[in-house]
């Protein structure tokens, strides 16, 4: 009985000793824990050959539809990337090619900032819009020497729009701007309301000299305000110093006045005038006189000849001069018993004369 008691006491001491002993931490050997043994909870300071966790708060969420993360730092994406939502890039995009497709009429390509072309560190020459494909490359780019925007294609503006420089219209759909004062135009269509300031030269044939105020056609050095030339002739219209106008030929050529391409009045270069058609005068005519009475239709200062007969006025028969038979001298000093005049009955110098028309006493 005493042996049983001693054994029980020894067992009780052993149990008490085990109860008071510090339980050692469980030891998990390296690479001995299977993922099947873990569910839920939080793992901190996690590290593996491919993953290192330094976060102090949840960052990455894995769900059935994918991985959710607010900030993603990636240096390189090796495979193709498809983004179904919006892409906000705060920095720069470097791309060899950029394709933007119109998916539908509701989806548009939009920009909220200017399209900027950067040079290769020196100049943006050669940068711009380029369309490849087709028979040749279409361009709208910046060119140098001098710097300018160059287009390989026609520029087509909407109707009623215009090209402008400094806010002023240069060319509109139907007119040139008022600021255009110089031009080297070689050919034009129909002109309306042409206003020319300065010299005018039309094919070196029609000219206007703004300095001398002379207009000429076919004359190199005009001699009148208006000059028309042909061969060696020159026709002029020019004011005179006595406030009159002269019109006629500057050269020794004559002047013909025509109607229906027929000469009616001919002025020879010697000054002789010929009238080639019937002529009617509505007022009295004076020949060789400056002032004459208008009670006669014809006033002549000297002798006249009609039907080859000469008529003149003297106070007696002629004492000199050549006369023909039938010439008549009218008496300028008639008296009673004298004659109204004398008639030449034999030609000569002065010829033989006889009185006619005796005046009664």
Least confident of 11-15, 76-80, 253-257: 11-15
Is residue 124 exposed (0-12), middle (13-18) or buried (19+ Cβ within 10 Å)?
Answer: middle
> What six digits make up the tokens of 165?
């420089």
> What six digits make up the tokens of 337?
């018993």
Using pLDDT thresholds of 50, 70 and 90, give the confidence band for residue 248. very high
The reported pTM is: 0.49
> What six digits make up the tokens of 331?
């008496």
pLDDT tens for each residue of 161-201? 999 999 999 999 988 888 888 888 888 888 888 888 899 99
SS3 263: strand
Alpha-carbon distance 333 to 353, whole Å? 17
Calculate ∠ Cα 50-56-62, nearest 5°: 60
Using pLDDT thresholds of 50, 70 and 90, give the confidence band for residue 313. very high
C-beta neighbour count of 353 within 10 angstroms: 20
Pairing of β 262-267 and β 255-259: antiparallel
CA dist 10 to 3, 4, 5, 22, 120, Å?
A: 11, 10, 9, 20, 94
SS3 332: coil
SS3 190: coil
Residue 351's nearest CA partner among 335, 333, 329 is 329
Alpha-carbon distance 54 to 69, whole Å? 15
Q: Quote the DSSP letter at residue 24.
A: P
Residue 104 has a pLDDT of: 63
Using pLDDT thresholds of 50, 70 and 90, give the confidence band for residue 229. very high
Longest dimension (CA), the chain: 231
pLDDT tens for each residue of 141-156? 999 989 999 999 999 9
pLDDT tens for each residue of 16-58? 777 777 777 777 788 777 777 777 777 777 777 888 888 888 8
Helix (H) or strand (E) holding 8: helix 2-20
Decide: 247 and 241 in contact? Cβ < 8 Å: no
Alpha-carbon distance 130 to 97, whole Å? 12
Is residue 238 exposed (0-12), middle (13-18) or buried (19+ Cβ within 10 Å)?
Answer: middle
Pairing of β 214-217 and β 226-230: parallel
Alpha-carbon distance 285 to 294, whole Å? 8
Give percent of the chain with pLDDT exceeding 70.
Answer: 97
């Amino acid at each position: 009985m005493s042996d049983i008691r001693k054994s029980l006491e020894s067992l009780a001491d052993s149990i008490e000793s085990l109860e008071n002993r510090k339980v050692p931490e469980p030891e998990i050997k390296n690479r001995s824990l299977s993922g099947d043994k873990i569910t839920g909870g939080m793992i901190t300071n996690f590290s593996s050959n491919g993953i290192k966790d330094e976060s102090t708060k949840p960052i990455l969420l894995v769900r059935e539809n994918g991985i959710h993360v607010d900030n993603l730092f990636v240096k390189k994406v090796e495979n193709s990337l498809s983004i179904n939502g919006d892409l906000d890039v705060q920095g720069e995009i470097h791309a060899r090619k950029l394709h933007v497709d119109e998916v539908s009429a509701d989806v548009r390509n939009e920009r909220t900032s200017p399209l900027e072309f950067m040079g290769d560190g020196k100049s943006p020459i050669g940068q711009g819009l380029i369309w490849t494909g087709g028979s040749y490359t279409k361009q709208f780019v910046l060119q140098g020497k001098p710097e300018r925007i160059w287009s390989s294609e026609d520029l087509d503006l909407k109707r009623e729009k215009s090209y402008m420089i400094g806010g002023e219209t240069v060319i509109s759909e139907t007119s040139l701007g008022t600021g255009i004062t110089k031009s080297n135009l070689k050919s034009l269509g129909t002109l309306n309301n042409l206003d020319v300031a300065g010299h005018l030269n039309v094919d070196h044939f029609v000219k206007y000299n703004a300095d001398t105020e002379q207009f000429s056609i076919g004359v190199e050095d005009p001699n009148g305000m208006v000059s028309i030339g042909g061969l060696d002739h020159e026709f002029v219209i020019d004011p005179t110093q006595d406030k009159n106008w002269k019109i006629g030929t500057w050269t020794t050529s004559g002047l013909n006045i025509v109607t229906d391409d027929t000469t009616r009045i001919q002025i020879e270069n010697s000054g002789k005038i010929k009238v080639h058609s019937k002529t009617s005068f509505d007022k009295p005519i004076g020949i060789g006189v400056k002032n004459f009475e208008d009670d006669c239709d014809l006033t002549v200062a000297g002798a006249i000849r009609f039907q080859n007969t000469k008529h003149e006025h003297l106070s007696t028969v002629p004492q000199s001069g050549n006369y023909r038979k039938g010439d008549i001298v009218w008496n300028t000093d008639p008296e009673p018993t004298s004659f109204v005049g004398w008639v030449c009955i034999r030609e000569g110098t002065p010829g033989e004369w006889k009185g006619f028309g005796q005046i009664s006493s």
